[in-house]
Chains A and B, each alone.
Chain A
Amino acid sequence: MSLLKIENLSATVGGKKVLNGLSLTLNAGEVHAIMGPNGSGKSTLSYVLAGRPGYEITGGSVLFEGRDLTTLAPEERARAGLFLGFQYPVEIPGVNNVYLLKAAVNARRKALGLPEVDAYEFLQLVRGKMKLMQMDESFLSRGVNEGFSGGEKKRNEILQMLVIEPKLAVLDETDSGLDIDALKVVAKGVNTLRSADRGVLLITHYQRLLDHVVPDQVHVLARGRIAKSGDKSLALELEKRGYDWVLEVA
């Protein structure tokens, strides 16, 4: 059984058709990259998967570990193991980073019938992951993304991903706006999560992230569907030739 199986998916946003017959299969242990020109539906795909209100599915199916994802509320999808790394993480003033992290982990544990995490052990765990992400400890007590730089916000997304340990991480342009050192740190985080029972869907504009996180497959999204798929060499080709040749073929 695949981790994620999207078949012939169509979706509208504000009445406008954005996804148009998209199909994609991602197995556990795989990392797929999704590339494509602006407006091709990349972010829409991530929101549709996460169940954002206003993104309406008009056709097709999405199975997550064989379960129909589309009938689940956003928080149920999250608890089932779906994580979305946001392109523009929102600020929530006054709410401690560590508080949200703990609420997230406990919500998932509750859904699994597990007791709440031990506060001390949890803090140790988070500290370990922060070290990996080269984040200062002061981030723990700061408000969620409050006053963070663009790069800090992206690192914080990856930190959350590492602590929550989802089965499938959908990362929406987590690499954009990062300098090369931050990019490496983020890539290290993603590689840490990689394992035989997890999957990652990397949405990106640039091939440079794929130098550090080597994908099993690369897809080009155009006009709301997968126009072309290949291995990592496809990303290099796109870097050289742009998207036009793919669009012509599509």
Chain B
Amino acid sequence: MSTEPKAIDELLGRSYRHGFVTDIDSDTLPPGLDEDVVRFISRKKKEPEFLTSWRLKAYRHWLTMKEPHWAKLRVNPIDYQAISYFSAPKPKADAPKSLDEVDPKLLETYAKLGVPLHERARLAGVAVDAVFDSVSVATTFKERLAEAGVIFCSFSDAVQNHPALIERYLGTVVPITDNFFASLNSAVFSDGSFVYVPPGVRCPMELSTYFRINAAKTGQFERTLIIAAPGSHVSYLEGCTAPMRDENQLHAAVVELVAEDDAQIKYSTVQNWYPGDEKGVGGIYNFVTKRGECRGRNSKISWTQVETGSAITWKYPSCVLKGENSVGEFYSVATANNYQQADTGTKMIHIGANTKSTIVSKGISAGHGQNSYRGLVKILPSAHGARNFTQCDSLLMGGNCGAHTFPYIETRNPSATVEHEASTSKISEDQLFYCLQRGVDEEDAVNMIVSGFCKTVLKELPMEFAVEAQNLLAVSLEGAVG
């Protein structure tokens, strides 16, 4: 790096010529990706050298890779040179000045979700400078966490303040060579969350990106790293529960979890990115790599996800069960309405002895939606006495949607037990009429039936989140029947 300052200065100069503005808070790189862009991002974030070279290594590997097309998805070609890889928050001049200027349809959705008024303004991107309650809430959180020794900050802050932890753990669960989108993310990731829970500490509260204000507008390439030291516990909630006003764009995040001996991580996601309109125009391509490693004995990682948004969802939150007696869980509800496509599931890799995994997947398809469950249960020769239970249920609403199940099971240890159950059903006229005959109107009846279908997953979510998730399901399936 010591020989590079000149090159970077040159780069900065060159970027400037391309209409780059010096105002650090509002600059955006012109579209395109090369090594200079990767260096620029790293430099902009004042990263230590190990990280710059890590990003470059990832970038160079990415160049050798091909976009994967094995999922059951129809993806419009993505032009990676047409994307801008560094974009500061939108200038306030472009943002709506008050709630009056925000699309009423969006506000109606917020009202249905029960989002408090001041949060609605923030989520809609209203450029008001008022200080919301959440600022003081966030401060209280920080103090309580600091007392417990828990580190919870943006990824960028962690790079500055805890570089040793980053260097030790980053890329150890999802290596830079893992897959096309993970490699791309490793090269250009913008920001994300970092959590470290010290040995024996039970994190005193649910950690949530919702309260970490500076994460609310992170870019399309988030990077999250959660480390649970021996004997610690943490529950992390991710996701904005309201729709984002985004155009058709790529969102390629990476999440890495590490659970040491006797540690437990519970990671809950409610994903509601913009799904595109009723005709399938626009919406987010949500291509995410999430993986947790149960590194220590008796450790446990539990993924719970409610995926209602995005035009295309491609994600498989997985568990690598290395430690003896470690436990992996995956609970998922995925909906695909209108022209949404979801190809989601999990991988459970059993390495340690007596490892145990549970998979419960509930897919709901409506409109022209296509919903696939894709899951791998792999039992390695070392995993004596490993056990897996998988349950995949699909619910169809209307005649134009589809549900698909792709379970892969590889067992290389004869002492393992693997169970798989699957079902596909329709919201029947009978169920609907039964509810109507009891005086319940159609919309409530559909919500009731869908919530019932998803119950085993929704009950895994923290209480306050479960209610929001249920409302979200209702909103995302609005008009799906009748």
CB pair A93–B439 under 8 Å, yes or no, is no
Among candidates A79, A90, A92, A94, residue contacting B439 with C-beta atoms closer than 8 Å:
A79
**Among B4-12, B21-29, B303-311, B443-451, the stretch in contact with A:** B443-451
Q: Tell me whether A59 is interfacial, beta carbon within 8 Å.
A: no
Give Cα A79–Cα B444 distance, bound, in whole angstroms. Answer: 15
Interface string of B429-463 (1 = CB under 8 A from A): 11101111111111010001101111110000000
CB pair B431–A92 under 8 Å, yes or no, is yes
Contacts of B430 in A (CB 8 A): 90
CB pair A93–B440 under 8 Å, yes or no, is no
Contacts of B431 in A (CB 8 A): 90, 92
Q: Tell me whether B98 is interfacial, beta carbon within 8 Å.
A: no
Q: Tell me whether A52 is interfacial, beta carbon within 8 Å.
A: yes
Among candidates B433, B442, B448, B455, residue contacting A100 with C-beta atoms closer than 8 Å:
B448
CB pair B452–A74 under 8 Å, yes or no, is no
Among candidates B428, B434, B439, B451, residue contacting A86 with C-beta atoms closer than 8 Å:
B434
Contact A90 to B428, CB < 8 A, known contacts A74-B436, A95-B452? yes
Q: How far is the CB of A45 from chain B (nearest CB, A)?
A: 15
CB pair B453–A94 under 8 Å, yes or no, is yes
Contacts of A144 in B (CB 8 A): 434, 452
Q: How far is the CB of B335 from chain A (nearest CB, A)?
A: 16
**Among A104-112, A132-140, A173-181, the stretch in contact with B:** A104-112
Give Cα A94–Cα B455 distance, bound, in whole angstroms. Answer: 6
CB pair B433–A74 under 8 Å, yes or no, is yes
Majority secondary structure, B binding face: helix
CB pair B452–A75 under 8 Å, yes or no, is no
Contacts of B429 in A (CB 8 A): 53
CB pair B434–A90 under 8 Å, yes or no, is yes
Among candidates A84, A90, A107, A143, residue contacting B440 with C-beta atoms closer than 8 Å:
A107
Among candidates B434, B438, B441, B452, residue contacting A94 with C-beta atoms closer than 8 Å:
B452
CB pair A92–B437 under 8 Å, yes or no, is no
Contacts of A143 in B (CB 8 A): 452
Give Cα A95–Cα B456 distance, bound, in whole angstroms. Answer: 11
CB pair A92–B452 under 8 Å, yes or no, is yes
Among candidates A53, A89, A93, residue contacting B453 with C-beta atoms closer than 8 Å:
A93
- Considering only CB atoms, which chain A residue lies closest to B433 in the complex? A52
- Considering only CB atoms, which chain A residue lies closest to B438 in the complex? A104
Residue in B429, B448, B455 with the greatest tally of chain A CB atoms within 10 Å: B448
Contacts of A44 in B (CB 8 A): none
Contacts of A53 in B (CB 8 A): 429, 433
Interface string of B382-411 (1 = CB under 8 A from A): 000000000000000000000000000000
Interface string of A96-127 (1 = CB under 8 A from B): 00011001100110010000000000000000
CB pair B439–A95 under 8 Å, yes or no, is no
Give Cα A97–Cα B18 distance, bound, in whole angstroms. Answer: 65
Contact A89 to B434, CB < 8 A, known contacts A95-B452, A100-B448? yes
Residue in B429, B433, B438, B456 with the greatest tally of chain A CB atoms within 10 Å: B438
CB pair B435–A94 under 8 Å, yes or no, is no
- Considering only CB atoms, which chain B residue lies closest to A78 in the complex? B439
Q: Tell me whether A20 is interfacial, beta carbon within 8 Å.
A: no
CB pair A103–B448 under 8 Å, yes or no, is yes
Q: Tell me whether A164 is interfacial, beta carbon within 8 Å.
A: yes
Q: Tell me whether A130 is interfacial, beta carbon within 8 Å.
A: no
Among candidates B436, B441, B448, residue contacting A95 with C-beta atoms closer than 8 Å:
B448
- Considering only CB atoms, which chain A residue lies closest to B393 in the complex? A93
Contacts of A90 in B (CB 8 A): 428, 430-431, 434
Q: Tell me whether A50 is interfacial, beta carbon within 8 Å.
A: yes
CB pair A104–B449 under 8 Å, yes or no, is no
Q: How far is the CB of B320 from chain A (nearest CB, A)?
A: 31
Q: Tell me whether A10 is interfacial, beta carbon within 8 Å.
A: no
Q: List 14 A-B contacts (CB under 8 A).
A: A53-B433, A75-B439, A78-B438, A83-B437, A86-B434, A90-B428, A94-B454, A94-B455, A103-B448, A107-B438, A107-B439, A143-B452, A144-B434, A164-B438
Shortest Cβ-Cβ A-B pairs, 3 listed: A94-B452, A95-B452, A107-B439
List 9 extra interface pairs beyond A74-B437, A79-B439, A104-B439, CB under 8 A: A73-B436, A86-B434, A86-B437, A90-B434, A95-B448, A95-B452, A100-B435, A103-B440, A164-B438
